[in-house]
A and B are shown apart, each in its own frame.
Chain A
Amino acid sequence: MINLFLHAALLTTTPILLAGIGGFVNRMGGLVNLGLESMMLAGALVAVEVSGATGSALLATLAAAAVGAAIGLLMSLVVTRLGANEIIVGLGFTVAVAGLARFILKSVYGASGTYNPPGVAMLPRLDLPFLDGAPILGAFSRLDPLTWLAWALVPAVAFALARTRWGVRLRATGAAEATVRSVGLQPLVIRDGSTVFAGLLSGLAGAHLSIGIVGLFNEGIAGGRGFIALAAFYFGRTSVARTALGALLFGVFDAAQIRLQGRGVPAEIVQTLPYVIVILVLTALGFAERRATSGRVLR
């Protein structure tokens, strides 16, 4: 019972975690990405299409990553090269891509809302027979590769940011753009790179939703998870581990809300919890900061 729930919670965490890590890296590079939702949605659609056409889950996953990365690049260029406000551009991408996905659904596939081509290959599940039946650990059997990838990325990104040349450059781009420029690097290119990375991971998140869980595309498949991922990396602030913790927390909420449906706990209220938590976290941070600057607000 507990294994079943944990297993479900791990699966619901994956898309939030993937997009959350992407958004976290993007934010470290100095861009707050509100377009994660759009990249997730595009990834989900492309994954179903490619999977149905080729029967290969691997190709589908790569295609989802590619389309997410492409949208990320497009969005980044508008922000970094045309000086556009990242918040509005992110919301704009969310609106436009959602419209585009439904537009394509209707005019290319003649489908309204749901696209379910025959022969969609699902992501494989990794059987770990020696874990089956073990308490708690049993939940880690039969997870898909993207879930493992997402969790492997947490220490990898932490290490890369702290210890590698690229990590230092990325953090410097977010914290002190002028300094990066003065040592002869191109901060905008580095920032674009971080947005492409966020798009890539969000595309994977979309693939996980469509060919990892349900095997079809639905216009509401992203279901605000791009914004939950935003909540996760705001919760995480400067730590990828905390971001992952936030994603796990929200994933558990998501799984719990599915289980509690029809048992008197209103799903609509449970779904708002991640957003409430983010506001509370930001409020606590605001108070902490005010105490640190001895009561003087500089803005």
Chain B
Amino acid sequence: MNAPPARLGKAAAAVLPFALALGIGALALAITGHEPAAVYRLMLEEAFGGERRIAATLTEATPLLLTGLAAAIAFRAGVFNVGAEGCFYLGGMAAAVLGYTLPTWSGPALIPLALAAAALSGGAWLLAPGLLRARLGVDEVVTTLMLNFIAIGLTSWLVDGPLLARGSANSATPQIAEAAELPRLLPPTTLHLGFLISLALVAAYGAWSRFSAGGLESKLVGLNPRFSRAVGVDLARAILGAMIASGIVAGVAGGIHVLGLVHRFVAGFSPGYGFTGVAIALLARNSAIGVAVAAVLFGALSSAGANIQLFSNVPIEIVEILQGAVMIFAVAQFSFAWPRLKTAP
């Protein structure tokens, strides 16, 4: 097999799920009496038309960059972690608590501390499923999925009782100190420093996965664990490391979301960023550039979705339909399109 067609196949494999999802969305739109082409054109316009809209799209892409990265780190090592959602909640909670309990601290000290706490809670949360998988071979999909629900329950209990802001009607912590807020990049838009931090982390992952021994090792573990063991890789360590690193990144994602955008922790503050991250990593086939592109695409979807609901009568849920459909098709293997790629029964 020579290189160019393979690369072409790869690109097509990433584009096809998106195209199919748009097709399904078009079907839902047409059945309910909307004009699909017009809606999609409007969405494109709302997502990328002009500096402000692009800034809104990038703001939406910020948490997705990191949840996508978290999923990619784990998947690359063959660890099927779907627990980013829970880490996102816990990381957000940790950052919010530090952000409002230390109002006398200055930004340069408080922000790194809050993000470190977010990273720590995310990483620690996945320690158990990581150990269970690495030492006992317990299926990590189920444990990490269950941990999501536990984290969501735990954090909503915290903001409903012990950490509820005084006089607040909805379940939320107090606002974080102004010093803890990440600076805005393009006021008056909401685009914040967290976007650059996230992008830098994705780039660092790209460099690590390409050029470092650890990156190669993790890929090897994902592709062929038995071979890796035979050449002397400590499998348990690699699996545990991937799981914890993934949790750390997802925790930081939650922390950045609080410090940069929401400025407090609110119950149910993720509309499924962790799960969208799974779709992103799958579409990206775990590559750094792919994660960045897919995160911006999904960010565009949700920022456009919010706007078209305002300016037309198309419900924002069209975005969820598209996201779910992308997830489904991202893992489908269209062997009829690439007969050579899949010959196994």
Instruction: Enumerate chain A interface residues (CB-CB to B < 8 A).
Output: 34, 78, 82-85, 87-89, 91-100, 102-104, 106-108, 224, 227, 230-231, 234, 266, 268-269, 271-272, 275-276, 278-279, 282-283, 285-287, 289-290, 297-299
Q: Which residue of A lies closest to B160 (CB)?
A: A268
Closest to A297 in B: B137
Q: Residues of B contacting A83 with CB < 8 Å?
A: 332-333, 335, 342
Return the CB mask of B151-176 against A: 1 if under 8 Å, else 0.
00110110011000000000000000
User: Do A89 and B328 touch across chains, with their CB atoms under 8 A apart?
Assistant: yes
Select from chain B the residue with minimum beta-carbon distance to A266. Answer: B157
How would you classify the secondary structure of chain B's contact residues: helix, strand, loop or mixed?
Answer: helix
- B136 to chain A: which residues have CB within 8 Å? 283, 286-287, 289-290, 297
B139 within 8 A of A: yes
> In the complex, are the beta carbons of B150 and A272 less than 8 A apart?
yes
Question: A97 CA to B132 CA in the complex, in Å?
Answer: 32
Q: Give the complex CA separation of A162 and B324 in angstroms.
A: 37
Contact B132–A269 (Cβ < 8 Å) = no
Q: Complex Cα distance A99/B33, Å? A: 17
Does the CB pair A299–B325 fall under 8 Å? no
Asked if B327 and A92 make an inter-chain contact with CB atoms under 8 angstroms apart, the answer reads yes
Would you give 15 A-B contacts (Cβ < 8 Å), ordered by A? A87-B141, A88-B278, A89-B328, A89-B331, A92-B279, A92-B328, A95-B272, A96-B324, A98-B324, A107-B313, A266-B160, A272-B154, A282-B143, A286-B135, A287-B136
Chain B residues with CB under 8 Å of A279's CB are 128, 143, 146-147
B15 touches A (CB below 8 Å): no
Which B-chain residue is minimally distant from A108 (CB atoms)?
B32
B residues contacting A by CB (< 8 A) are 24, 28, 32-34, 80, 82, 128, 132, 135-139, 141-143, 145-147, 149-150, 153-154, 156-157, 160-161, 225, 235-236, 272, 275, 278-279, 282, 313-315, 317-321, 323-328, 330-335, 342
Most chain A CB within 10 A, of B34, B128, B149, B319, is at: B149
Known: A87-B80, A93-B328, A269-B157. 10 other contacts (CB 8 A): A82-B334, A84-B328, A84-B332, A92-B326, A96-B324, A268-B153, A272-B149, A279-B143, A282-B138, A282-B142
Instruction: List residues of chain A with CB within 8 A of the CB of B34.
Output: 107
What residues of B have a CB within 8 angstroms of the CB of A289 in the complex? 136-137
CB distance from A223 to the nearest CB of B (A): 11
Tell whether, in the assembled complex, residue B156 and residue A234 are in contact, meaning their CB atoms are under 8 Å apart: no
A268 contact set on B, CB distance < 8 A: 153-154, 156-157, 160
Task: Assess whether A283 is in contact with B317, with CB atoms less than 8 Å apart.
Answer: no
Question: In the complex the two chains form, is A103's CB within 8 Å of B321's CB?
Answer: yes
B-side contacts of A99, CB under 8 Å: 317-321, 323-324
Q: A95-B327, A99-B324 are in contact. Are A106 and B137 (CB under 8 A)?
A: no
Nearest CB of A to B270, in Å: 13
Q: A91-B275, A283-B136 are in contact. Are A266 and B161 (CB under 8 A)?
A: yes
Q: Report the minimum CB–CB distance from A19 to chain B (whole Å).
A: 16
Provide the bound-state CA to CA distance between A286 and B279, in Å: 29
Given contacts A83-B342, A269-B157, contact A275 B147 (CB under 8 A): yes
The one of B143, B160, B315, B335 in contact with A103, judged by C-beta atoms closer than 8 angstroms, is: B315
Closest to A181 in B: B345
Q: How far is the CB of B325 from chain A (nearest CB, A)?
A: 5
Q: How far is the CA of A240 from the CA of B82 in the complex (A)?
A: 27
A100 partner residues in chain B, CB cutoff 8 A: 28, 317, 320-321
Give the CA-CA distance A102 to B32 in the complex, in Å: 13
Docked pose: A271 CA to B151 CA in angstroms: 11
Pairwise interchain contact B138-A285, C-beta atoms closer than 8 A: yes
Residues of B within 8 A of A107 (CB): 32-34, 313-315
Residues of B within 8 A of A87 (CB): 80, 82, 141
State the CA gap A83–B138 with chains docked (Å).
23
Residue pair A88, B149 in contact (C-beta under 8 Å)? no
Closest chain B residue to A228, Cβ basis: B149
Cβ contacts under 8 Å, B139 to chain A: 282
Beta-carbon nearest neighbor of A83 in chain B: B333
Choose among A84, A93, A299 the residue that contacts B324 (Cβ–Cβ < 8 A).
A93
**B107: shortest Cβ distance to chain A, in Å?**
33
Q: Which of A85, A89, A95 contacts B275 (CB 8 A)?
A: A95
Complex contact A96–B323 (CB within 8 A): yes
Query: Is A92 a contact of B147 with CB atoms below 8 Å?
Result: no
Known contacts A102-B317, A282-B139, A285-B138: A224-B149 contact under CB 8 Å: yes
Q: In the complex, what distance in Å separates the CA atom of A290 from the CA atom of B150?
A: 26
Nearest CB in chain B to that of A99: its residue: B320
Docked CA distance A269–B157 (Å): 7
Residue with the greatest number of chain A CB neighbours at <10 A, chosen from B34, B136, B141: B136
> CA separation between A89 and B82, bound complex, in Å?
13
A82 touches B332 (CB 8 A): yes
* Whole-angstrom CA separation of A103 from B236 in the bound complex: 45
Enumerate chain A residues within 8 angstroms of B315, measured Cβ to Cβ.
102-103, 106-107
The 6 closest A-B pairs by CB, nearest first: A96-B324, A99-B320, A286-B136, A92-B327, A95-B324, A268-B157
